Amino acid sequence: MNTADAPRSLELWLEERRIGELREQGNLWALAYDPAWRMDGFDLSPALPCRAGEIVDGGSQRPVQWFFDNLLPEEGGRRLIASDAGIDAADAFGLLQRFGPESAGALTLLRPGQQLPSPALQPLSDVALSERIRALPRQPLTHGAPKRMSLAGAQHKLAVVLEEGQLWEPVGTAASTHILKPDHEHVDDYPHSVVNEWFCMQLAAACGLPVPQVAVRRVPEPVYLVRRFDRIGDGLQAQRHYALDGCQLLSLDRVYKYQQATSDSLRALERISRMPAATRIALLRWQLFNFFIGNSDAHLKNLSFLRGANGWELAPHYDLLSTSVYKASDWGLDELVFPMGTTRRYAHIGRDDVAAFGQSIGVPPKLTLRHLDELAIAIRRESHVVLQSYEQGATHAVDPGEARLLRQIVFGPVVDASEAVAMLSRSRVS
């Protein structure tokens, strides 16, 4: 962590508009909005109101630092990019100085006086991408990239542009349009994570949940590609759409993404959104879907909101995958992040617990159970459809290990959870 008294600063930009200045000295962070931005700009977050003067962190309440720290990778991803850059992993400001030009959201962070570089795209061949993947975890995926990028989250990932089947890397102020992730580095513990996430996202779409477009590419290593919901347009015309994750909206340090995963936090997010009633139903269905697929890693940073003309709107869902499937026959002993009522363990969750969760976020029990039953029927039906689409292999060679994992998801968490809590009519379920 930086302990020097010398102040450090960064300029904040949204596309070609200067937002203000971020400053750090003695491990205390401060934010000052640009006068022109204050005229017609917006609050970066509810805890960072757009006003004159500096917003300065205190000893215990650090809304500025927490907000910007949430733009950086977590855990091993942070340690790896820090090591590659020769920066202390605990020096969040130093990491933003190095990786701020392409952050997790819409902001661009530049050193004082640094000019906005011209946008461009550099081709990324499958061969070059394969070499980077094989260099993991010794080097991050961004090693050798034309623009250093800081994407939030714990997994290795790369911001790219996908256009007409070709991968490109953004240069200068060019915005990425997709996030790319290879298989989890701990392949023995979490095999085939690419096809796992692809399957769960396709299943979510089939069940009516809002999700971005996803695809699997083989270089020949499998990589997962997801369209960024915080981008508008394609290629060099892509523009950034301002979005915040749950921790940023609630002004929480990233370390509390699990601890503060409570119904109270969901209610707080509902109140911030411009359509609270629709948001609570969407959050209910998100929680139910995570239960049915066995996703025990759905935390506050896996929820994001887009800033629209009239306020904050829940963004399409992302990072949906079955983590419990990796526990094989013991998956029922795994636990949800957000509890159902007072219960987290999958094997102990019943209809009353689901109803209690719905009520805790403002959804009446009868309506909660209706959504539960409808989603249970849909997910059992559609899981077989998506599985079959993979096994038919119309656009790819079927990998036996991938197929086995997908069948374990369908005939493990999906079937077990839906049978345990839903009123299933045998005549309506294939």
- Active-site residue numbers? 297
CA atoms within 13 A on the CB side of 385: 14
Work out the burial of residue 398: count CB atoms within 10 Å of its CB; fewer than 13 is exposed, 13-18 middle, 19 or more buried.
exposed
Of 175, 31, 152, which Cα lies nearest the Cα of 95?
Answer: 152
121's CB contacts (< 8 A; 6+ apart) are 161, 168, 169, 170, 171, 174, 235, 236
3-state SS, residue 413? helix
Distance CA 290, CA 374 (A): 15
Q: Which strands sit side by side in the sheet containing 178-182, from one edge to the other?
A: 120-123, 166-171, 158-163, 178-182, 222-227, 214-218
Beta carbons of 130 and 220 less than 8 angstroms apart? yes
Residue 109 tokens read as: 């962070």
Beta carbons of 173 and 118 less than 8 angstroms apart? yes
Judge if the upstream peptide bond of residue 123 is cis by omega within 30 degrees of 0.
no
Tell me, what amino acid is at 171? V
Beta carbons of 247 and 254 less than 8 angstroms apart? yes
Work out the burial of residue 274: count CB atoms within 10 Å of its CB; fewer than 13 is exposed, 13-18 middle, 19 or more buried.
middle
CA atoms within 13 A on the CB side of 279: 22
Residue 152 tokens read as: 């939030």
